[in-house]
Amino acid sequence: MRYNKLGWSNLIVSEVALGCAQFSAQFTKTQKTEADMIAIMHRSLDLGITMWDTAPSYGNGMSETIVGKALVGRRDKVVVATKVAWGHAMPEMVEESCDASLRRLGTDHIDLLQIHWPSDEEPNELTIAGVARLVKAGKVRYAAVSNFKQDQVELAWCVYPVASNQLPYALVWRYDEPLIQYCGEYKIGVLAYSPLGEGILTGRYDETTTFPSGDVRNHCVFFLPNVMPLALKVTAALKQVADKHEVTPAQVAINWTARRSNISSVIVGSSSIQQVEQNASAVDWELDDDDRALLLAASDEYMATAPTFRTMWDR
């Protein structure tokens, strides 16, 4: 496992971070017990994954609660990243959200508190001011944002320096590359989420795949009938590279994202011990120039032919 400095901050984050959204009834696609989820988190730490990313909205606090239980006896080994709850834009509401997260996480501080989504109703400057107040109070080490566009990052920075911006980034989602370059120029870390395109890049699905009612992938753009055949061409390129290196397509996709310029860490969820082991080892080897050229060509074709969406769930 490699480690990177998160932007201008003093936080050191593992190249692969553990996404904890699935540790809740809202997101989990398999029947996992609480003990199973905690075991996955503990195994991730054994493998060198030292950053865990969660949010109040994941299972209405369930994810944070389970993360808190997994942190017992291990708090000093983990960079804990969570978010300001949706709808908590005003400074006093930011503190309420943070205090609730601290209780669920069972800790006296949060390493990275991110504004989950920019608000369309309240000035985002007020929200970042609320997070800044928590940094000064010692409840939060660093302020950060998530899903912010460049002008929103600039406005936030005018109020208080943000350590990172969490953005979707994958071979099938490269809309934010100019923003990622901007963040790199101004020493703002980038946490890349959904490097597997919500699963389409794992190689496990084809055009006959259906999901049960309530599965979040039913709302994902990559599984639309007019998009999936295009995305599967990228998956085919991943399989070609995976066979060459004797790894999985998912590991190739994670490696590609992790090694792109200005990416501090790639956030990947894991639903089993085996999966977290595969995700951790995805960065233990190198793509060569031919691999990168093949993948980039497939990605370029997808980006040129697929419909444009605002988000991965914009249906």
Q: Which residues are catalytic?
A: 58
Q: How many CB atoms lie within 10 A of CB 281?
A: 17
